[in-house]
Amino acid sequence: AMRKSIEAKGGEIRLSSPVNKVVMAQEKIQGLEINGQFEAFDKVISTIPLPYVPRLMPDLPEDILKKFQAIKNIAVVCVIAKLRKSVTENFWLNTNDPEMDIPGLVEYTNLRPLDHHILYVPFYLPGDHEKFLQPDQAFIEKVKSYLKKINSTLSDEDFIDIRASRYRYAQPVCDPGYLRKIPPMA
């Protein structure tokens, strides 16, 4: 739906077109370098993690580059489980159990029902933490045991599929004064 809307308005979506650089002159966007070729654009909308900005926009003023470089981020190992039955009746469940190293879980299908149940279980931690280097299976086994603890009627047969993925720059760490520390957005 989004793609059709963009294209209907004259926009274009390009896949497999890595941006090498945001080209600037006099602190104004001129366009993008894509696969070594310059293409002119009036505006650029970026959704990349903030730590990547200095590499793609090296022509920004030095003080702004330093602000981007100073932003700390937290990593996440996301475990997604597909189950035959619901774990809870809630969309969001916070956990406060010292035996569970997760902040909670999100059961998407309690918001939008499907024939099966989809849960998102995040493990937020620093990207250089030793736990972040543990194999996916370690996180998967933890989640299985946590879900069975939350809902004692769950069994191994209730798990249709379960997978782990990682994202090094899940979100910025918003410490006190964060708003003053972030670079200006225009």
Cα torsion through 4, 5, 11, 15, rounded to 10: -50
Say if CB 130 and CB 116 are below 8 A apart.
no
Domains and CATH numbers, the chain: 2-71 (no CATH), 73-172 (3.90.660.20)
186 has a pLDDT exceeding 70 = no
Mean pLDDT for the chain?
93
**β-strands 104-107, 92-94 pairing:** antiparallel
Q: What is the pLDDT of residues 104-143, one digit of tens each?
A: 999 999 999 999 999 999 999 999 999 999 999 999 999 9
57 has a pLDDT exceeding 90 = yes
Average pLDDT value for residue range 59-71: 91
Q: What is the pLDDT of residues 147-167, one digit of tens each?
A: 999 999 999 999 999 999 999
- Mean pLDDT is lowest, of 13-17, 95-99, 155-159, for 13-17
pTM for this structure? 0.80
Spell 155-185 as b/e; 16+ CB within 10 A means b.
eeebbeebebeeeebbebeeeeeeeeeebee
Average pLDDT value for residue range 65-83: 95
185 has a pLDDT exceeding 80 = no
